[in-house]
Homo-oligomer: A and B are copies of this chain.
Amino acid sequence: MSKSDPARSATGGPGDARLSRASVQRFSLYLRHLQRFVREGVQTVSSGQLAEILDLSDAQVRKDLAYLGNLGQPGIGYPAQELIAALRHRLGIDRTWATVVVGIGNLARALLRHRGFEQQGFQFVALFDADPHKIGQKIEGLEVHDPRRMAEVVAELQAVLAVVAVPAEAAQGVTDALVAAGIRGILNFAPTVVRLPEGVSLVSVDLAVQLEQLAFLVQLNQGSDKPDVEKQGGLLDTP
């Protein structure tokens, strides 16, 4: 995230306690499992069930869900649909986010075909690529535009989020153009640091970092040189 992190000065949520970044990541994971439970016909879920699936303590789950209000009933559990609605509201996905994608290579194609995005409220509305051979093509039903038309297209489609899947050396230029066009949040897959002005949010996904974390865990498991690692229930902990 950029230095503009508003969380530093934001006031507290319910109970005025601090909501950790790890909690926010777990919200996404609770939501995923609750949606599956509901598909399977489950109506009420206990904190113990969620704790078991996500390998967390029961107390941790109850603490996280307390941020959403008093939804749980002792001895009964949480109404699954209400919990889903509360999680979607808190995550900000009880609305549709118009999203553009810049850099239409294999990764972008994989993202465009990912069935989970639209279900969670992310609607891909336009694609951009600087390659003249790609401009004008339709990929997964969306036209690839010339990046020079970014401001116009973003405004017309009222896009708010952007996925950046360009090579590292192009990432800052693309990011600057997206910000100038009015984009408010960027999901960056380019393996580099991008700088953003105040008020624009960034989530970076470096796929090599994920593999390094795996190597570290396998090395731990192999018993050579074992440091102690604290359990956090973040993305990397998820079974």
Contacts and interface: CB of A to CB of B under 8 A. Distances in A.
Interface in A200-239: 200-223, 225-232, 234-239
Which secondary structure dominates chain A's binding surface?
Answer: mixed
A22 to B, nearest CB: 7
A61 to B, nearest CB: 16
Interface stretch (A40-48, A70-78, A144-152, A183-191): A183-191
Interface string A94-128: 00010100000111011101101101111000000
Interface string A144-187: 00000000000000001101000000000000000000001111
A1 interface: yes
Q: Can you tell how many copies of this chain the complex includes?
A: 2
Interface string A1-41: 11111111011110011111110110111011100000000
A90 interface: yes
Contact of A239 (B1, B214, B229): B1
A237 B21 contact: yes
Given A55-B1, A230-B18, A110 B106 contact: yes
A110 B210 CA distance: 15
A86 B138 CA distance: 47
Given A201-B217, A226-B11, A229-B21, A236 B1 contact: yes
A161 B110 contact: no
Contacts of A195: 239
A83 to B, nearest CB: 15
